[in-house]
Chain A
Amino acid sequence: MTQTDTAAEVRTSANGEAFEAETVVKSNEEVNGEYRLLILDAPQRILNCRPGQFFHLLCPVTTAHQPYLRRPMSIYGFYPERGELHFLYKVTGEGTRALAELRPGDTLNVLGPLGHGYTIQDDWQNLLLVARGVGLATLAPLAQEARRLGRKLTAICSARSPEVLMSVDLFREMGAEVITVTDAEGTSGMEDIRATIEARIAAGEVDALYTCGSNRMLKLLQDIGAKHGIPGEIALEQQMACGLGMCQCCVRSFRRDNRIVHERVCREGPVFDMQEAMGW
């Protein structure tokens, strides 16, 4: 029997500071049928972000939509020099529908930056990420960081069809090599992705793996990582209330030192060690 326990160690946020701040919407355009890009004019103090961190958004209450709790969104881009904060989101329910109604000039209250983002250790020269759907939002800032640190990055971008592939240009601009795979072309199956990754590993071109969200991808990358001894990180999602670590509603289970531990996605995460994460 494994023992259930909460984390022994209390971590504080990356920079120990988060802000509740008013921002102004610059634009909020559709990217394709399902996704929108929200660009906010944000105060400098909230733009000291790390890739993989998120903000907790107070979605507007409109006549049609009355969200109550905040909604967590990964930072898709942060540009202190332009005073901009970007989110890429999929319209799914009450909160994101309300977000979609925001027009340029409207204000949006945001809380952040929150959580622990991705790490790039000094000896991780060749990075490989696998992203699909809104996962691209979470992983995009990693490309920026990889370029800043002069690391080589390969991005496998997956989507239903070539038309709805997103962020390919963004990754290329960041100097990443982009491999696109789609359901429509029959190239996005787990075994195809495995073959692609293992070929690169054979060529000695992978020091660390990164992904987010999907259970299937977690299983695949855990398996590849364990087999070849390659470390990795995954960003996870869980429903949140406070986003700060106070309410304990966002816990997930992790395997650590032969025990099951519970950690808060908003605080200890959202980015976790790939091998410690557990499927759901």
Chain B
Amino acid sequence: MVDLTAKIGALTLKNPIMPASGTFSEDLADVIDMNALGAHVTKTITREKRGGNPTPRVCEVRGSMLNSIGIPSKGIDYFIQNVIPFYQKYDVPLIVSISANNADDFARICEEISVPGVDAIEVNISCPNIEEDGKAFAMRPSTTHQVMTQLRGASDLPLWAKLSPNTGETSEVAQAAEDAGADALVVANTLLSMAIDIHSRKPKLGNLMGGLSGPSLKPITLRMAYQCAKAVDIPVIGCGGISKAEDVIEYLIAGASAVQVGTATFINPTAMITIIAELEAYMAANGMADLSALVGSVRDDDAADAVVFMETAP
């Protein structure tokens, strides 16, 4: 028997597979058994109601996609009254993703969402911070440290910091989050991108630019997950471009303790279910009793720190 359980700090997940924020909702219960997942991660919410960005909000690029959905939010009250009770039916930890435009609002929603039924809070610090010219908190170690310190003071629940690939300081940002009290890192969010229709010469997204997700993001976020796992002692949750069990195994070998699956669920709503089964089969076939046989097992023998923490291609 293969033991698929994954420990993320104080939380034990029945397996290391969970959805990525914004690519999952109650609606998926129409297609899959929600109890099969390692955790449920909800779409980022803000305190206040928000409308989101103009359409078109998505477009495809070869083998991947861009989105500029933004964070349309029905607000925290709606979430507490309607969404949390829905997930309480399941025997699966609920991870709630939150965000805000500035650190004070962020701390407020963090405190207000710390209610029974929520098992951990994923703090989406990869969204624009209006006090820093719209730069995401997670682009710099200093802003990461500041906001994470405030968030830590606002809740006793486990805090997972969701990092951004739009930074040149991956390991420093990771360490800043850890130092300020993050319990885990989710690595990572989408990468700022663009696509233009050559016939109309119009940008394909209503918002001009958006985030790249899907298979072409994977080498970037995998590299980041590897660097983060080297840089910190808290668990790293890999996210970006996972569509099959091999991708999960690769993240685990790089040092991730669990993973999130996003865009793949749009292509195959049953993707996570298939991945769990394939991961189990792979481990059984290779005589692996539990995830420790994989996590962090990358053979990067004696690579120098200067190489591990590179922020540009050699």
Contact = CB atoms under 8 A, between A and B. Distances in A.
Nearest to B70: A248
B60 A68 contact: yes
Interface size class of A (residues with CB under 8 A): 20 to 34
Contacts of A238: 55
Contacts of B23: 242, 246-247
Given A68-B214, A69-B58, A244 B27 contact: yes
A267 B61 CA distance: 25
Interface string A1-35: 00011100010110011111000000000000000
Given A5-B49, A70-B266, A244 B26 contact: no
Nearest to A111: B269
Nearest to A239: B56
B266 A242 contact: yes
Nearest to A252: B55
Interface SS of chain A? loop
A251 B52 CA distance: 10
A238 B28 CA distance: 20
B213 to A, nearest CB: 10
Contact of B58 (A16, A111, A247): A247
B296 interface: no
A16 B30 contact: yes
A58 interface: yes
Contacts of B265: 242, 246
A68 B64 contact: yes
Contacts of B63: 66, 68
Given A244-B28, A248-B72, A262 B266 contact: no
Nearest to B22: A247
A242 B66 CA distance: 13
Interface string A233-253: 000001101111111110110
Contacts of B270: 20
B52 A248 contact: yes
B51 interface: yes
B30 A241 contact: no
A244 B269 contact: yes
Nearest to A243: B266
Given A13-B30, A247-B23, 8 more contacts: A19-B31, A20-B31, A239-B55, A244-B31, A246-B24, A247-B67, A248-B72, A251-B52
Interface of B: 22-28, 30-31, 43, 49, 51-52, 55-65, 67, 69, 72, 74, 82, 214, 265-270
Interface of A: 4-6, 10, 12-13, 16-20, 58, 66-70, 109, 111, 238-239, 241-249, 251-252, 262, 267
